[in-house]
Amino acid sequence: IHILKGSPNVIPRAHRQNTRRDRTGLYPLRGPFKNLTLLPFSLPLLGGGGSGSGEKVSFSKMAAAWPSGPSAPEAVTARLVGVLWFVSVTTGPWGAVATSAGGEESLKCEDLKVGQYICKDPKINDATQEPVNCTNYTAHVSCFPAPNITCKDSSGNETHFTGNEVGFFKPISCRNVNGYSYKVAVALSLFLGWLGADRFYLGYPALGLLKFCTVGFCGIGSLIDFILISMQIVGPSDGSSYIIDYYGTRLTRLSITNETFRKTQLYP
């Protein structure tokens, strides 16, 4: 706060005639002094020009140097609030609505919901009973968006589909096979298991020789192996899967890891 030292008549004569008291009792100044407001009373202040004598010095009625607009902290706060409001509007849900209203971006066909597209059955290889394009346990099938749906296809082109065009290729899981037939393994275990033929066929020569010498562990080992092979618990020694009809009775193993979603159990 700046204090103008002197008598109340500190206003220059050129601007004195332009000074009038408003309804608040203050003297708003004009011209070069428009940013100052002169209070209509005198304040006896202790001063003395730094001499320390403590004598009373007559000042003008304290002209406070209040700017006509907001002060510096208030201006910074106002600007900060404006920036935060702009960011919240442009990045929040209202911003998304405004963006979509201004120029709606087309949806990718891969992001369509269930019921908005249909996928064809994969083409099955007769020898392996797996999709013909199976690579690294993954195959792809062609999917067709429903009629009157507009989305971006696998090439990135925005297309209005009629139901006959391929929109994208959906990945599906497949298995790695190496020529071991499930039917053959079960038949060998049932009829020649006591000779170890099933173990020889699956690539376990040591166990096969042991079963041959002990007549299938007196029949007990043959029965156990028949159950394990029938339930697809024992498979080929190289880690591959049995050749089973693609739409046949396959065993799907489920495992739980730290990324497995666990549904909350609700008890009555």
Q: Which two tokens stand for residue 101?
A: 């209203």
pLDDT at 158 over 70: yes
User: pLDDT at position 251, please?
Assistant: 80
CB-neighbour burial class of residue 61 (10 A; exposed 0-12, middle 13-18, buried 19+): middle
pLDDT band at 267 (very low <50, low <70, confident <90, very high): confident
pLDDT at 28 over 80: no
State which of 133, 159, 174 marks the end of a domain: 174
Q: Which of 15-24, 101-110, 117-126 has the highest mean pLDDT?
A: 117-126
**Residue, of 212 and 93, whose pLDDT is higher:** 212
Print the domain residue range for 134. 107-174
User: pLDDT at position 87, please?
Assistant: 66
pLDDT band at 25 (very low <50, low <70, confident <90, very high): very low
pLDDT at 117 over 80: yes
The overall average pLDDT reported for the chain is 75
- 206 and 147 part of one domain: no
- 197 and 232 part of one domain: yes
**Residue, of 146 and 61, whose pLDDT is higher:** 146
Tell me how far apart the alpha carbons of residues 45 and 141 are, in angstroms, rounded to a whole number: 91
User: pLDDT at position 225, please?
Assistant: 96
User: Does some domain include residue 3?
Assistant: no
Given the DSSP bridges, would you call strands 138-145 and 117-119 parallel, antiparallel or unpaired?
antiparallel
**Residue, of 128 and 19, whose pLDDT is higher:** 128
User: Does some domain include residue 232?
Assistant: yes
- 120 and 161 part of one domain: yes
User: pLDDT at position 268, please?
Assistant: 65
- 165 and 187 part of one domain: no
User: pLDDT at position 230, please?
Assistant: 93
- 197 and 141 part of one domain: no
**Residue, of 175 and 89, whose pLDDT is higher:** 175
- 154 and 213 part of one domain: no
What number is the average pLDDT over the span 184-210? 95
What number is the average pLDDT over the span 52-74? 47
Map residue 111 onto helix, strand or coil.
helix
CB distance 161 to 154 below 8 Å: no
Q: Is the dihedral of CA 168, 172, 176, 179 positive or negative?
A: negative
Q: Which of 52-56, 105-109, 116-120 has the highest mean pLDDT?
A: 116-120
User: pLDDT at position 82, please?
Assistant: 77
User: Does some domain include residue 168?
Assistant: yes
pLDDT band at 250 (very low <50, low <70, confident <90, very high): confident
User: pLDDT at position 190, please?
Assistant: 95
For the chain, the domain total comes to: 2
- 188 and 236 part of one domain: yes
Tell me how far apart the alpha carbons of residues 181 and 158 are, in angstroms, rounded to a whole number: 46
Tell me how far apart the alpha carbons of residues 33 and 4 are, in angstroms, rounded to a whole number: 12
CB-neighbour burial class of residue 121 (10 A; exposed 0-12, middle 13-18, buried 19+): exposed
pLDDT in tens, 219-234: 999 999 999 999 999 9
CA 255 to chain CA mean position, Å:
26
pLDDT in tens, 32-60: 444 444 444 444 444 444 444 444 444 44
Q: What is the CA radius of gyration of the chain?
A: 45
